[in-house]
Amino acid sequence: MTAENKKIPIRQRRLNNVPTEWVAGDTIIWDVIVPDYPATDGWTLKYILKAKTAHIDAITASADGADYTVTISASASSAYASGEYHYKAYVVKGSERFTVDNGKITIKKDFDDSGNYDDRTHAKIVVDAIEAVIEGRATKDQESYSIAGRSLERTPIPELLVLRDRYKAEVVREDRADRIRRGLGHSGRIKTRFGGLT
């Protein structure tokens, strides 16, 4: 492999997935293999996470031989605000820096925190807000909820109906994925073919 090729970040080089769901207050650990940028060659792996109203300072992975281990302590994660974040992973060595991965993760509120608990996904929150606006019972927060730069209260009803259906479909997909993850199968329609009697 030439030096020039080595500088091209390829998504497939990340052989271990970042957990897509974190719980604030939990210890979070994952291992990462970046063959073209091994820790033994002096590279350091870092993660940056940003949301609309929050960000998480750089998380630095520890070297594990040529590979890396990311460990976030329970005390550190307890300070994370819940929500959906975009992350980027990059390796650095001296003045060199290369992005090696990016994606999304969801941070859920610590269940032990005082106060109420809202475990709705983004899609479910949007569906509830749209339906409340359509039915004329929306709170100020729901009315001011913005999609594509426009608040729900300023969105015509026909467009709200289209948005509601789109996000409802997303809620169904999330529910099915959650049931499969928990080993419950999915609750979609099951088609059965009956043969003739003999």
pLDDT tens per residue across span 25-75 = 999 999 999 999 999 999 999 999 998 888 998 999 999 999 999 999 999
**Residue 4: its pLDDT value, please?**
43
How do 28-32 and 44-50 pair as beta strands? Answer: unpaired
Rounded Cα distance, 176 and 183, in Å = 11
**Residue 115: its pLDDT value, please?**
63
pLDDT tens per residue across span 111-129 = 766 566 666 778 888 899 9
The pTM score is: 0.58
Q: Where are the domains positioned within the chain? A: 3-108, 122-181
Count of other CB atoms within 10 angstroms of residue 146:
11
Please check whether the domain covering 3-108 is classified as CATH 3.40.50.1820.
no
